[in-house]
Amino acid sequence: MSIAPDPTLFEDFEATGLKFELQPLREVLRSPLFERFLQEIWEPQTCFSPPPVAAPRLGLSAPGGSSLLEILAEVREKVARHAVNTRHPWALAHMTPPPATASVLADFLVGALNQCAFIWEEAPLAEALEAETVAWLARRLGLGRDATGILTSGGTLSNCLAAYLALAYHWKRFGDTPERLAVIATDQAHLSIRKAAALVGVGADAVISVPTDEQGRLRPGQIAAAAERALQMGQRPFLFVCTAGTSNAGVLEPPEEFLAAAQSHDAWCHIDASHGGLMVLGSDPYPGAEAWAEAESISWDPHKSLYVSYAVGSLLLKEPSLRAPLEFHSEYALKEDDLSRDAGAWHLEGSRRLDALKLWIVIRHLGDEGIDALTDHSLTLARVLADEVEASGDFELMTAPDTNVVCFRFVSPSLDETELDELNRRLQRHLYQSGGPLVSSTRVGGRAVLRTVLMNPALEVGQLGEILDAIRVEGLRQLAELQGQGRVAQGECA
C-alpha cells in the first residue's frame, strides 16, 4: 500500500513558508502604522498608563494566521500602551535607561542574523566582537593589560560566576576545609550575592551582611572585623564583595576595606560595579575606582551605564588564569584545526545571542566622548536634584548621592517616623497609579524612601523642579487623605 501525502499539507506548508520571507517585514517597516508606533515610542506623551487590572491577559489562545500588521496593531494597543516609557522624562524609578537608537537597530540586526555566539562555525566573528568590547570595558575601568572578561546577561549572572570562581580559587589554595564558608558583604549588597552563594552550594546563609549606617554607608573597619568574627565562629571567608553603587542609594563602598580584608584572608575580592561602573566614565571619573583594578573580578552592566537595551552585562577578571575553572569545551565546538576557536568556552550559557555586536555598535555610534557626555549629564541631574531636595522645606535627602541615584522622602513636621514611612510608601504607589513621576520605593537607614535614578538624556535640569512639584502635589493629597482617615497626626506640611 502506498502512502500518498495529503496534497493540502503542501499548501499549508507553502503558506507557512511565506512567513519567513522579507515581504511581510517590508510591509510593516514601510507602513504608516509602524511609523506612528515609532513616534510614540521615541516621543511618548505619557510616562505610564497602568493596565486596568493587576494581572491582565492578552489572549494567546487566538488562532494563528494574523498578519504582522494586525499583530503590530494589537501589540501597540495591548502591550505598548501599558509599557513604562523609559524615554519619558518622568521615568526615574529604576536603573533602566532609554536605549540608544543604535542599540535598537542592533537588536534588530542581532535577531535577523541570529548568530549563535558559541561555535566558530556558527558565528566566526563572535569571539573577535566580544574580545574588542571587553577590551573597551577593561580600558575604561583602567584595568591592566592582562585583564580579560566575558559578556553576560547582567549583574546577577556576573555575580554568580564571580562567586563560583572565588570558590574554585579557595579550593585551589586550601582544598576542602572543614570550616563552613562565608561571603562578606554589607547589608546593601544586591540580592544576587545571596543567590550566588546559594547556587555555588555554600548557602544563602553564608553571606554575612555587615550593617551600614543610616545613609546606607559602611562604617570604617567593619569588614575586617566581620571577617575576624566569622573566622572565630568557625566560618572561613572566601569571598569579599564591595558594592560600587548600591542598589538602594547608589553608595560607592570603599574598595580598600574589602581588598585589604580579602588579602589578609587569602580570599577573592569582587567589585559589584553592575551599576556604579558608570563612575569611571565622564569628564571627572571617580578616583576610588583606581583600586577596583586590584580586585580579582568586577561586574559592570552595559545595560545600565551604556544605554544598551537588555540584556548585556559583563564580568571582568584581573588576569586570564583566574577564569580557568570556567573553561569547558564541547566536542562539536572545538576541532583540531586553527579555525575552530570556541567562543563559548567561558560562558555559562550554550546558545547565546551575538550581543557583543550590540555593544560594539553602541560604542561605535556614541563613542567615548558621547558616553562621557551622557554620564556627565546623568551625574549633573543627580546633583541638582539632591540640591533642590535639600533646599526644599518638605523633602528630606536621605543619602548625598555618590552616583546617579538620589533617595529622599516627603516629610511633614507633624508626623512621626512610622507615619512618614506609611506616607512615603503610599505616595510611591499613588504616583505609579496616576502615571508618574515614576519613582521606586526602598529602605535606607530603616526608613521608607523614594528612590530615583537619573539617567535619561531627554530629561533637562530645568525639568527637575516640575518633577518635585508633581511629587509634592501627590504627597499633600496623600497626607490629607491619611489625616482625613485619622491614620496620621493632624498638622501643616512644612
Query: What is the contact surface with ligand PLP in residues (CB under 6 A)?
Result: 95, 154-156, 159, 190, 192, 243, 245, 247, 272, 274-275, 301, 313
Whole-number minimum distance, CB 12 to ligand PLP, in Å?
42
End-to-end CA gap in the chain: 92
Whole-number minimum distance, CB 243 to ligand PLP, in Å?
5
Judged by beta carbon, residue 303 or residue 323, the one nearer ligand PLP is 303
The answer to whether residues 244 and 255 touch, using CB atoms and an 8 Å cutoff, is: yes
Judged by beta carbon, residue 347 or residue 426, the one nearer ligand PLP is 347
Judged by beta carbon, residue 72 or residue 93, the one nearer ligand PLP is 93
How far is Cα 231 from Cα 353, in angstroms, rounded to an integer? 43
Whole-number minimum distance, CB 312 to ligand PLP, in Å?
9
Whole-number minimum distance, CB 265 to ligand PLP, in Å?
23
Judged by beta carbon, residue 236 or residue 352, the one nearer ligand PLP is 352
Whole-number minimum distance, CB 400 to ligand PLP, in Å?
18
The answer to whether residues 374 and 149 touch, using CB atoms and an 8 Å cutoff, is: no
Chain center to CA of 246? 12
Judged by beta carbon, residue 266 or residue 349, the one nearer ligand PLP is 349
Judged by beta carbon, residue 192 or residue 399, the one nearer ligand PLP is 192
Judged by beta carbon, residue 44 or residue 149, the one nearer ligand PLP is 149
Spatial strand order of the sheet with 440-444 comes to 395-399, 405-410, 447-453, 440-444
Whole-number minimum distance, CB 467 to ligand PLP, in Å?
22
The answer to whether residues 192 and 154 touch, using CB atoms and an 8 Å cutoff, is: no
Judged by beta carbon, residue 89 or residue 155, the one nearer ligand PLP is 155
Residues 41, 43, 49, 50: what is their CA dihedral angle, to the nearest 10 degrees? 40
Judged by beta carbon, residue 137 or residue 420, the one nearer ligand PLP is 137
Whole-number minimum distance, CB 462 to ligand PLP, in Å?
28
Whole-number minimum distance, CB 80 to ligand PLP, in Å?
23
Judged by beta carbon, residue 296 or residue 301, the one nearer ligand PLP is 301
Whole-number minimum distance, CB 131 to ligand PLP, in Å?
22
Q: Quick count: other Cβ atoms within 10 Å of Cβ 327? A: 10
User: 209 forms bridges with which residues in the sheet?
Assistant: 185
Judged by beta carbon, residue 155 or residue 401, the one nearer ligand PLP is 155
Whole-number minimum distance, CB 247 to ligand PLP, in Å?
4
Q: Which sign does the torsion angle of CA 109, 110, 111, 116 carry?
A: positive
The answer to whether residues 97 and 312 touch, using CB atoms and an 8 Å cutoff, is: no
Whole-number minimum distance, CB 250 to ligand PLP, in Å?
9
